[in-house]
Amino acid sequence: MQTVFNRIAIFGVGLIGGSFALALKKSGAVRQIVGVGRSRTSLETAQQLGIIDHIADSVEEAVAGSDLIMIAAPVAQTESILRAIVPFLNAKTIVTDAGSTKADVVLAARAALGNKIAQFVPAHPIAGRELNGPEAALTDLYVCKKVVITRLPENTNDDVAAVAWAWQQCGAIIHQLNPAQHDAVFAAVSHLPHLLAYALVDDVARKPHADTLFQYAASGFRDFTRIAGSSPEMWRDITLANRVAMLEELDSYTARLAILREHLVQADGAAIEDIYSNAQKARHNWISAIEAAEKQQREGGD
Ligand SMILES: NC(=O)C1=CN([C@@H]2O[C@H](COP(=O)(O)OP(=O)(O)OC[C@H]3O[C@@H](n4cnc5c(N)ncnc54)[C@H](O)[C@@H]3O)[C@@H](O)[C@H]2O)C=CC1
Ligand SMILES: O=C(O)C(=O)Cc1ccc(O)cc1
């Protein structure tokens, strides 16, 4: 059984790092949280909001006295953050992350940490929203949400258990995948949908009559494009980091669109309805499965 963390350092105190901090504080799983970031103003906001107890004056100060380090910055920052950390890393300190992609993060960690790689336990909370920064952080963001740990062969069971325990204190449910499986899954159900939402809003916004279109856009457009309100920097990094898997999903989706387009050219209502019905049935089944799992979770079953 893991004991309470004495001190956790969070690199990137935004939505994800901030929500992790708030949830751990609420559960009593940590004594002190230290924030490190690239924007002083944002760290001061995090401190005023009670998310972090202290703003680190240096990476050395943040790292040397912490038993857990969480990296919750855009994924392309991972290698430079780890390179800054490594000279001060104690043998017992565990480093983890919350990045939305995993194969690139593991490569970055191997390059930066070298023979300290066993101390890095990669993870990804499957929870979030389209808002960013410490103001968007929520204490309950991770309650009943999945966290995927993509453990490395070098990780010890104790270190993986400690990271899992921290997320469980936030209310999360732990899953495990390998990094390639992880990136293939999230290319399909998270990364591609974000690209599509951005593309649709960009397309509409560039039309000469965009104002009229936005004036009449209703809740369907709002639902479909909510995630296009997300951080462009974060999603640029995810898109580039997972480009191979995303290209595969984009090709598959483009092929489906081409089929649908041909049915439209042919005014083939039966074929269009067949695709729509298949999608409607699959979505209903998916929602029912989620609701059943949530009910079981609420009722404490397993
Ligand atoms: N937004 C979401 O819904 C989810 C995001 N993630 C992942 O979590 C990570 C953080 O995302 P958010 O919290 O949403 O973004 P955010 O924009 O709310 O927070 C990121 C923070 O990192 C800081 N930062 C940037 N570069 C840094 C550096 N070199 N050193 C230290 N701090 C730095 C920024 O100033 C900002 O405060 C990303 O890797 C993202 O892929 C994972 C699950 C969900
Ligand atoms: O806003 C939403 O609905 C999301 O999809 C949040 C999200 C964004 C990135 C992730 O890696 C995981 C979850």
CATH architecture of the domain formed by 5-177: 3-Layer(aba) Sandwich (3.40)
Digit-coded pLDDT (tens) for 233-271: 999 999 999 999 999 999 999 999 999 999 999 999 999
- Please give the model's pTM, rounded to 2 decimal places: 0.97
Atom of ligand 2 nearest to the CA of 186: 11
Rounded CA separation 160/164 (Å)? 6
CA of 16 to the centre of ligand 1 (A): 6
Atom of ligand 2 nearest to the CA of 234: 9
pLDDT of residue 301: 53
Confirm if 121 and 155 have CB atoms less than 8 A apart.
yes
Confirm if 70 and 5 have CB atoms less than 8 A apart.
no
Q: Which of 11, 13, 15 is the best mutation target for the ligand 1 pocket, counting ligand atoms within 8 Å of the beta carbon and taking the most? A: 15
CA of 246 to the centre of ligand 1 (A): 21
CA of 62 to the centre of ligand 2 (A): 28
CA of 149 to the centre of ligand 1 (A): 18
Ligand closest to CA 55: 1
Ligand closest to CA 16: 1
Q: Who contacts 187 (Cβ-Cβ below 8 Å, separation ≥6)?
A: 242, 245, 246, 248, 249
CA of 122 to the centre of ligand 1 (A): 15
Q: Which of 11, 16, 149 is the best mutation target for the ligand 1 pocket, counting ligand atoms within 8 Å of the beta carbon and taking the most? A: 16
Confirm if 30 and 4 have CB atoms less than 8 A apart.
yes
pLDDT of residue 295: 85
Pocket lining for ligand 1, CB < 6 angstroms: 11-17, 36-39, 42, 72-75, 77, 81, 98-100, 124-125, 128-129, 132-133, 231, 234, 238
Whole-Å CA distances, 228 to 182, 235, 263:
22, 10, 28
Residue type, 272: I
128 CB under 6 A from ligand 2? yes
CA 206 to chain centre: 29
State the distance between the two ends of the chain, measured CA to CA, in whole angstroms.
20
Ligand closest to CA 240: 1
Residues of the chain with CATH 1.10.3660.10: 182-267
Which stretch of DSSP H or E encloses residue 7?
strand 5-11
Order of all β-strands in the sheet with 94-97: 54-55, 30-36, 5-11, 68-71, 94-97, 120-121
Residues of the chain with CATH 3.40.50.720: 5-177
Q: Which of 129, 141, 194 is the best mutation target for the ligand 2 pocket, counting ligand atoms within 8 Å of the beta carbon and taking the most? A: 129
CA of 161 to the centre of ligand 2 (A): 24
Pairing state between β 123-125 and 173-176:
unpaired
The two tokens of residue 73 are 């910055």
Question: Which residue from 35, 41, 33 is spatially nearest to 11, judged by alpha carbons?
Answer: 35
Please provide residue 68's backbone torsions phi and psi, each rounded to the nearest 5 degrees: -140, 135
Helix (H), strand (E) counts: the chain: 13, 9
The two tokens of residue 48 are 């005023």
Burial status of residue 71 (CB atoms within 10 A of its CB: 0-12, 13-18, 19 or more) = buried
Rounded CA separation 109/98 (Å)? 13
CA of 223 to the centre of ligand 1 (A): 23
Q: Which residues of the chain have pLDDT under 50?
A: 302
Rounded CA separation 161/176 (Å)? 12
CATH of span 182-267:
1.10.3660.10
CA of 48 to the centre of ligand 2 (A): 26
Confirm if 291 and 285 have CB atoms less than 8 A apart.
no
Confirm if 14 and 134 have CB atoms less than 8 A apart.
yes
Whole-Å CA distances, 60 to 68, 71, 83, 114:
14, 15, 12, 19
CA 19 to chain centre: 12
Q: Whose CA is nearest to atom 16 of ligand 1?
A: 14
